[in-house]
Structure 1
Amino acid sequence: MIKRQIHPLRPFKIGDWWVDPEANKLADQDCEISLTPKAMTALLALVEAQGRSLGEEQLQEKIWSSSAQPDASVDQIISQLRKAFGDNGRPRRYIERDGSTYRIVAQMSQPDVDGLCPHSHAKGRRRGLCKWGISVGALALVFALGFGVFYPKSQAPSQIIVYPIQLVDASHHRDSAYLATSVTDAIRSRLATLGGARVVFSETAPWSRPDRGSAVSGSLQITGSSLRLILNITDLAGRDSQWSGLIEGEVRKLYSFHQDLSEALLSQLNVPNDEFSDRREPDPEAYDYYLQGRHYWSQRDVHSLQRALQNFSQAISLDGQFAPAYVALCDSYHFLSVYSDMPASTVSEKCAPLLDRAFALNPGMPQAYASRALQFSEQGRESEAEGFYKKALEMAPNYAPAYLWYGQLLRSQGRFIQSLAMYEQALELEPFSGGINRGKAYTLLRMGRLEQARDTYQRALALEPDYLYRPLDQLEFLPITVETATDYFNWSRMYPHVIGRQPNNKVTEAILWMALGDMKKAQELLIQVPPGMRTGANYLYARGLQYSINRDYDAALSVFQQRRSQQPGNRSYALPVAATLIKLGRNEDALEELDRYYPKLGANKTSIDSENRFPYLIACYLRHIIGQKSPQYLHDELKQSVSYKIVEAMDIPEWFVYENPAKLFEILRAQLMSGWLPDYNQFLWAPEQWPEWSSFTRDQQEEVTSLLRRNRQSVLRESGREDKLNASLDKRSVKETTALN
């Protein structure tokens, strides 16, 4: 119930949450959640409607201007809001959907308290952070030194970790946003080449970090055309001020202002004031356009990246000798291929002459080496790419994009350990990067570390929920449900050509069609994978899965063994082999397969964790059915480790331990009622192939089949693909439909 009009620019309360529209935040007594600007815009539109329903078109017009291309669906934005509010149950407590309309159903209020900070309801340090964010604003860098103390000026630090906070301008100058970003960017560019020290950039306040090292904080004031930047270095352990300085400049002379800032900072760190880029002063207007472009580039959405392209192009037209603008323009194209549907071939075509020009103007730019390496990687010139990545990191050991892109190359080569190391180093530099977290998640996924991959991917979603490929990526990381499948098909209708860009995209969709019971459609997609790409691990998994669902276990075993032989060090590849051997009745061989890749279960206790729980569970099951006894401690520990998890996500087959068909049916029925579909990223078998299927009653089997068919039809109906549904699904049982090949 809504009692009175809510002012959309002042903090207000909705349900149990405080909403701060200006800060794009939600807060309750225990935590604080950041919303994307689009999610906050959608929420405010619903709030202003005062309980009335708004249609998708109305919300789309509010969220995206008429000239902007939507980079997500309205339903995705609403889903983000529901997840933020914890509104996952039925009936909805915050946002209700009726057909294609949405409305607020939670009670809202807006106390008449001037200057109320909604974050102040959060406990502990969060309350202090809220007040700090309003009163200090500006710049904050943390220097966490090797021994936890601030080094004397006579001694250079061996390790520096830097945490910048976005500048806040109290004067509300019309250009404060990009001018504020430009100061952080100038520091980032200069310190990227700082050898012998780690330079980390974070979006959190330094006070939320361990009380070690030093902090540099300050505030930028803009009066007319004058700039005043006050810097303060404070010891985090004692909160004692160690150094303060004033740097003044003019808006018309930003390059000189940034040089003065960098020199003062490096002087206090007592590190050499040098860099690989030249010291040529660019045209002032060109530099201004360049800084605006960097500001938009850092926002990582399609519209901002397109504006960045315009600004960098304008900078080049005004000063054709300014090498950084050429590299920045190329990098904008690279990121557009991630956040939009721009094909990699277009990026390579655009970047080649830009990088040629950048190297001709300044052959010592590490950013140019990293961008060239990415171009080589996309062209299949992997050896050359690796050489350029190493050169870039040698020149700029604190340049996060080089680690990110190098990690992608290493993963594509199956060098997962090295890839993971690159992502870990990138995250040390930029821990709040959605792209880096996604890259790490994919490497963990390819290593078979599914739970860690999911956790990392969820973190990436929290940081960057609106990126273009989310509906495709979440099919690999999250359980396949009616919601995730529908999101994918709606997205693929908007971007049909994206699916064909990478062969692995077709493999992902093929596995989805298997979950929907249409093996014929899955086969059509797998046939479209180029012959030269049919030896990849993902393709072989999908092919083996296809054979397994169709009960051709001998063929499935051959494919899974081929896949495992390609990467014998990846023990997760042994699991499909063992599972298929079980289906063939070769239980001793299956147990031997597991023992070969996982430590044998002997007298010494084996630690159970999220990554080895599944194989040890299967081993317990195998020993049980072949008459061997597993250590009692392991049997008990496995029971305890899976009992809390199975009800939530069915990622561990509890029936292996409990051998309780009735409990399995209850769990399966509850999952189906909530939209579950067979998740073949984890399971090789359809429900009717499960070990306990024959223990279900006929009525239970028919109910499972009926609910599964309902979920599959729901996906196709809600995504407008009902005509694709194989007519036989209405006439045959799920068991019969899996006979298609």
Structure 2
Amino acid sequence: MPELTERRFYRFGRFRLDPNGRVLFRGDRAVRLPPKAADILLVLVQNAGSVVEKKDLLKHVWQDAFVEEGSLTRTISILRKALEDPSREQELITTIAKRGYRFAAPVMMVVLPFENLGSGEKHDYFSEGMTEEMITRLARLNPERLGVIARTSAMQYKSTDKSVRQIGGELGVSHLLEGSVRRSGNRVRIAVQLIQVSDESHLWAESYQRNLGDMLTLQFEVAKAVAKEIQIKLAPQERERLSSAGTVNPQAYEAYLKGRYLLNRRTLETLQKSVQYFKKSIEYDPHYAVGYAGLADSYLTHHDMGHLPPREATTKAKAAAGKALRMDETLAEAHTSLGHAYFHEFDWPAADRDFKRAIKLNPNYANAHFYYANYLIAVGQRNEAIAEARWAQTLDPVSLPAGTNLAAILCFAGHYTEAIEHSLRVLEMDSSFARAYEDLGRAYEQQRMYPQAIAAFEKAVEFSGRSSRDLASLAHAFAIAGKQREALELLEELRELSKKRYVSPYSFALVFVGLGNKSQALAWLEKAYKGLDGALPFIKVNPRLAPLHCDSRFQNLVRRMNFPVFAT
């Protein structure tokens, strides 16, 4: 059944349906539907996968009014046109002769981490890389009909002893793809099998042996076999891509997989090594587009974690993503990286364009929805931002960052109670995740629950290893709770820390806001603006900066950031 995100929207492909307002959206734009067409669509979607009899549709939608069957047929035709589902194709709405109509239930799948049958952990990068590559291939087959759980959530089930049904229930999937990889020199053996969650039946299994340079072709073969088994019609652009799969430079491919493996570890040391491996992959093959895309991801992750000055990180990321797209314009990952960089440069139209392009190319790419949600909340599109953040979490349901990002956006949107609930839910999954404590503390602050906020920020400081970001949040909470001495002690710690490594100017601004020193706060925000500080895009919606809103210097800064204006 199409995903209903906490009773707010039904999702299917590029569309989402608001069941309360009977409004259909394609992307972020409303699709005009006559009221009866919207009513019929809701009934069909609520009964996805089952035949809805004509008489039941007529009774439910037209109730006691006398209506001929032709009215229903015409309304179905209007719906198909709106959904871009021609009657001859019937991918979404199928006519069941002499009975009624059936709305196709999209398939949701997870690719479980491939088991490494090679020589110990030294080949983990290869098995994890193959898992991530298969997720990417399957996600692009036909996003209208097939949803694929993102890597972050899939990797939580590495070496799991949970049953197929347990995993299916936790992730909300109908199918699992699992497999194993054995690497011996330049030869690779892969065994894969497709399992249906409902009855744990094995639908298909196959083994492949290939040279390392033929991995791209192998992945496409598996993707086509899966599509055939679950009766997914390939999207035209993906059919062309699958038919033209060629070889890849083995050394470039291996360096790329090592880069991805290290990037996903998210420490300063592994991030630095990931940059080296991505650079090595494009040295082996200067036309290897995904190598450049990986390099862009690494620079932006450095930025997000505060390891590189923002301007340096975004400049390098834009250059790498731009090269990737000149070689392959269809890489959703590179468009997402480019949109992310533009976002931090306050180039709102360019960010919007690249995020939308990424989502159009691969609606299953969770990171595109994740970062587009950040863009939408920053520019004041609150409902749309929450919807995107929820969809990112649907695609990546046990991802800690996806969960905390939703909590942060709910906080920016003023939904503090719900933000607290989501943060606590993330902490149930991992009680040592610093970002969740930070989001929890921010929401508690806005509820004037200062002791709870301070306790949450103290946990964030502990589990982040006293990161400057969390020290600043704790200092702000102390200050607004009237604990000036504690706030000033942390401010001094931040000053000492800034002599050793990069500390965001926003961190200092936040502390001075809490202390009531508007002049110092605004001076640091000005530095943040000049340095492209990562926190600055959220300046309009960040409730902790509310004491500055009436100051002409703050208003001038906001004007210089050229936020888009939307019709109300």
Match of 1:315 among 281, 284, 288: 281
**Aligned equivalents of 1:272, 1:332: Cα separation in 2:** 31
Closer/same/farther in 2, CA of residues 471 and 524 from structure 1, 3 Å limit:
farther
Match of 2:290 among 311, 315, 324: 324
Q: Which residue of 1 aligns with 2:346?
A: 380
Closer/same/farther in 2, CA of residues 146 and 506 from structure 1, 3 Å limit:
same
Say if 1:398 and 1:429, in contact at 8 Å, map to a contact too. yes
Deviation larger for 511-520 or 364-373: 511-520
Say if 1:507 and 1:542, in contact at 8 Å, map to a contact too. no
CA positional deviation for 1:465 = 6.3
Q: Which residue of 1 aligns with 2:137?
A: 190
Say if 2:216 and 2:247, in contact at 8 Å, map to a contact too. yes
CA positional deviation for 1:367 = 1.9
Q: Give the partner amino acid of 1:392.
A: A
Q: Which residue of 1 aligns with 2:520?
A: 527
Q: Give the partner amino acid of 2:114.
A: L
Q: Give the partner amino acid of 1:529.
A: L
CA positional deviation for 1:286 = 0.6
Higher relative contact order (CA 8 A, sep 6+): 2
Match of 1:339 among 290, 305, 310: 305
CA positional deviation for 1:529 = 2.5
What secondary structure does 2:346 align onto?
coil
Match of 2:123 among 160, 163, 176: 176
Aligned residue runs from structure 1 range 142-291, under 5 A: 147=49, 159-193=106-140, 194-197=142-145, 198-201=147-150, 202-203=153-154, 204=157, 206-208=164-166, 209-210=168-169, 213-222=174-183, 226-251=187-212, 253-269=214-230, 270-272=232-234, 274-275=237-238, 279=245, 281-291=247-257
Say if 1:146 and 1:160, in contact at 8 Å, map to a contact too. no
Say if 1:309 and 1:329, in contact at 8 Å, map to a contact too. yes
What secondary structure does 1:161 align onto?
strand
**Aligned equivalents of 1:177, 1:351: Cα separation in 2:** 27
Q: Which residue of 2 aligns with 1:455?
A: 421
Q: Which residue of 1 aligns with 2:61?
A: none
Say if 1:148 and 1:213, in contact at 8 Å, map to a contact too. no
Closer/same/farther in 2, CA of residues 356 and 241 from structure 1, 3 Å limit:
closer
Closer/same/farther in 2, CA of residues 326 and 287 from structure 1, 3 Å limit:
same
TM-score (normalised: structure 1): 0.47
CA positional deviation for 1:281 = 3.3
What is the identity percentage for the equivalent residue pairs of Structure 1 and Structure 2?
Answer: 17
Match of 2:370 among 404, 419, 426: 404
**Aligned equivalents of 2:131, 2:267: Cα separation in 1:** 20
**Aligned equivalents of 1:212, 1:331: Cα separation in 2:** 28
CA positional deviation for 1:392 = 1.4
CA positional deviation for 1:331 = 0.9
Q: Which runs of 5+ in 2 are unaligned?
A: 1-46, 52-89, 93-103, 489-511, 527-535, 551-564
**Aligned equivalents of 1:335, 1:463: Cα separation in 2:** 23
**Aligned equivalents of 2:437, 2:359: Cα separation in 1:** 33
Closer/same/farther in 2, CA of residues 288 and 511 from structure 1, 3 Å limit:
same
Measured against aligned partners, the alpha-carbon deviations of 1:687-738 in whole angstroms (never above 9, x if no partner) come to xxxxxxxxxxxxxxxxxxxxxxxxxxxxxxxxxxxxxxxxxxxxxxxxxxxx
Closer/same/farther in 2, CA of residues 523 and 215 from structure 1, 3 Å limit:
closer
Aligned residue runs from structure 1 range 441-520, under 5 A: 441-461=407-427, 473-477=439-443, 480-481=450-451, 483-484=455-456, 486=458, 496=468, 509-518=475-484
Q: Give the partner amino acid of 2:295.
A: L
Q: Give the partner amino acid of 1:328.
A: G
Say if 1:389 and 1:402, in contact at 8 Å, map to a contact too. yes
Match of 2:326 among 351, 355, 360: 360
**Aligned equivalents of 1:489, 1:256: Cα separation in 2:** 47
Q: Which residue of 2 aligns with 1:293?
A: 259
CA positional deviation for 1:349 = 1.6
**Aligned equivalents of 1:423, 1:381: Cα separation in 2:** 21
Q: Give the partner amino acid of 1:196.
A: E
What secondary structure does 2:372 align onto?
helix
Instruction: Please give the root-mean-square deviation of Cα atoms over the aligned residues, in Å.
Output: 3.9
**Aligned equivalents of 1:406, 1:251: Cα separation in 2:** 35
Q: Give the partner amino acid of 1:391.
A: R
What secondary structure does 1:227 align onto?
strand
Q: Give the partner amino acid of 1:164.
A: V
CA positional deviation for 1:279 = 4.1
What secondary structure does 1:528 align onto?
helix
**Aligned equivalents of 1:463, 1:195: Cα separation in 2:** 29
CA positional deviation for 1:469 = 5.6
CA positional deviation for 1:169 = 2.4
**Aligned equivalents of 2:382, 2:364: Cα separation in 1:** 22
CA positional deviation for 1:235 = 3.2
Aligned residue runs from structure 1 range 5-154, under 5 A: 147=49
Say if 1:507 and 1:525, in contact at 8 Å, map to a contact too. no
Closer/same/farther in 2, CA of residues 348 and 311 from structure 1, 3 Å limit:
same
Structure of larger gyration radius: 1
Q: Which residue of 1 aligns with 2:357?
A: 391
Closer/same/farther in 2, CA of residues 470 and 527 from structure 1, 3 Å limit:
farther
Q: Give the partner amino acid of 1:312.
A: F
**Aligned equivalents of 1:290, 1:299: Cα separation in 2:** 15
Measured against aligned partners, the alpha-carbon deviations of 1:433-454 in whole angstroms (never above 9, x if no partner) come to 2221111001111233323212
Closer/same/farther in 2, CA of residues 435 and 458 from structure 1, 3 Å limit:
same
**Aligned equivalents of 2:541, 2:195: Cα separation in 1:** 53
Say if 2:189 and 2:208, in contact at 8 Å, map to a contact too. yes
CA positional deviation for 1:173 = 4.1
Q: Which residue of 2 aligns with 1:736?
A: none
What secondary structure does 1:163 align onto?
strand
Measured against aligned partners, the alpha-carbon deviations of 1:153-209 in whole angstroms (never above 9, x if no partner) come to x98976121122222224444543112112211212212323312222443554213
Q: Give the partner amino acid of 2:194.
A: I
What secondary structure does 2:234 align onto?
coil
**Aligned equivalents of 2:132, 2:107: Cα separation in 1:** 17
What secondary structure does 1:421 align onto?
helix
Say if 1:338 and 1:468, in contact at 8 Å, map to a contact too. no
**Aligned equivalents of 2:126, 2:475: Cα separation in 1:** 44
